[in-house]
Amino acid sequence: MSHAAAKTASPAGRTRDPFLLLAVPSLLLLGMLFALPIAFLLLKSFRDADGALSVAGYIAFFSDPYMLTALRRTIVIAFETTLLTLVLGYPTAFALARARGFVQTCILIAMILPLSVGVIVKAFAWSIVFRSDGVINKTLLGLGIIDEPLRLLFTETALVIGAANIFLPFMVLPIYAVIRQINPNLGPAAATLGAGPFFRFFRVTLPLTLPGVVAGAAFVFSMAVSMYVIPNLIVGERSQMLSMLIARSFLYLRDEQMGSTMSAVLLVIAAMIVIASSIILKRLSGRQA
């Protein structure tokens, strides 16, 4: 791959950037380990047990109320998780951008360190917190806010809180990266033009941080919609998400068509979110270009 060879003109008449070649190794890896298997999976969803072409899997999926409930639950939980990480992460990103030196380092470490602790460890740690005799219940009881222990473990609320905890850095970091790009004089400029705090936030801060919010939300949603270990450990069999049903189909029921079909549905949801977010991002940056 010589430099000169890379500089051939594309059909559009523009010279290709030879630096694009730098992405080749990772694209190869992704292609072999992601795109190909996924393509096989998609193909499988259109084949019945005898290998004949059929859409029976999709018909079965979309006509089964249990499956549709699981689909809706999966989307709702992913959405709630995204919303919670946004509500918690947006102010955190500002604090992180505003802080200096030691404090900033502390927040950054607090964001990144939990990523290095395995999900399983964290999930078991929560079960200690969420138990009926766990820290939360003990505190609430002690303060007299509740009379009997709340049922926290094995609820979807606990799942959303736990998932938000895990995915929080993926919301905070993109927003933080965007905030750092913003000229710090824009707020003061808006203020001297007569804009009060609300006006400044909605007309300057929010529009300028929106690209970070969209990127973070796309990250978190696509990870939350397909999470498997966290719901398994927190809610278990009580409320199934699609990912758990997929595992059940492949591992226990040996129903490869249904498993592939559900995988395809999940993939389409995630793909739609990613595509939608990149379109929005392009629109947003288009306004600034």
Partner 1 sequence: MNTRPPQGECGMYLDVKGITKSYRDNTVLDKLDFSVLKGELVSLLGPSGCGKTTLLRMVAGLVSADSGTIRLAEREVTTLPAHRRNVSVVFQNYALFPHLNVRENVGFGLSARGMTKAQQKVPVEEALALVRMEQYADRPISALSGGQQQRVAVARALVVAPDLLLLDEPFSALDRKLRETMQVELKALLRSRGITAVFVTHDQEEALAVSDRIAVMNAGRIEQYGGPMDLYSKPATSFVLDFVGMSMRLAGTVKSAEGRLLRISTAYGDITAPGNFIAGARVLVGVRPELISPGLPQGSPEATNRVTATLSDVMCLGAKTLIYGAASGDDCLVCEESGAYAIGLPSAGSPVTFGWRVEDTLVYPAEHRQ
User: Does residue 224 belong to the site contacting partner 1 (CB under 8 A)?
Assistant: no
- Closest separation between CB of residue 97 and partner 1, Å? 17
Contact (CB, 8 A) for 168 and 85: yes
Q: Kindly tell me which of 108 and 191 has the beta carbon lying closer to partner 1.
A: 191
Q: Kindly tell me which of 119 and 175 has the beta carbon lying closer to partner 1.
A: 175
Q: Kindly tell me which of 118 and 184 has the beta carbon lying closer to partner 1.
A: 184
Q: Kindly tell me which of 142 and 196 has the beta carbon lying closer to partner 1.
A: 196
114: exposed, middle or buried (C-beta count within 10 Å: 0-12, 13-18, 19+)? Answer: middle
**Paired tokens of 178:** 């965007």
Beta-bridged to residue 53, according to DSSP, are 47
Half-sphere exposure of 24 (CA within 13 A, CB side): 8
Longest dimension (CA), the chain: 76
**Paired tokens of 93:** 């990103």
Among 3, 14, 100, 287, which residue sits at the site for partner 1 (rule: CB under 8 A)? 287
Give how many residues touch partner 1 by CB under 8 A.
21
Using CB under 8 A, which residues numbered 246 to 285 contact partner 1? 284
- Closest separation between CB of residue 99 and partner 1, Å? 17
Q: Kindly tell me which of 53 and 193 has the beta carbon lying closer to partner 1.
A: 193
- Closest separation between CB of residue 286 and partner 1, Å? 9
Contacts with 162 (C-beta within 8 Å, 6 or more apart), sequence order: 122, 123, 126, 230, 234
Distance of CA 225 to the CA centre of its chain: 7
- Closest separation between CB of residue 203 and partner 1, Å? 7
d(CA 77, CA 162): 11
d(CA 36, CA 176): 35
Using CB under 8 A, which residues numbered 163 to 222 contact partner 1? 183, 185-186, 188-196, 199, 203-204, 207-208
Residues that bind partner 1 (CB under 8 A): 183, 185-186, 188-196, 199, 203-204, 207-208, 284, 287-289
